[in-house]
Amino acid sequence: MADLKSPTLIYLKGVLFLVLGLIAAGMLLAMVGNLQIALLLGIAIWAFCRAYYFAFYVIQHYVDPRYKFAGLGAFLVYLWTKRLPRSD
């Protein structure tokens, strides 16, 4: 499969991900109907988004400019093989 290059299709893909997430979260909340679960779900989603941002943007722009992201598996390999400098 070729890379997606059309800006319109890329935006459409992002909107579809957002819609899918909203539908899934809405269905979960409708099934449970608990404010505490809604809050925990929101925190979990926020935390995973921040972790994803860290794995790619922060590492590439602030820690190791040579690192180019290719997916979470590649990031795990990077962490496993990378020796971090010690701050003694």
Long-range contacts of the stretch 67-71 (C-beta < 8 A, 24+): none
* Residue range 39-79, pLDDT digits in tens: 888 899 899 999 888 887 887 888 878 877 777 787 788 77
* pTM for this model (two decimals): 0.59
pLDDT of residue 54: 85
Scan for tokens 């800006």, then name that residue.
Answer: 7
pLDDT of residue 9: 92
CA distances from 16 to 6, 41, 64 (A): 15, 20, 32
* Single-letter amino acid code for the residue at 30: A
pLDDT of residue 83: 61
φ, ψ for residue 44 (rounded to 5)?
-65, -45
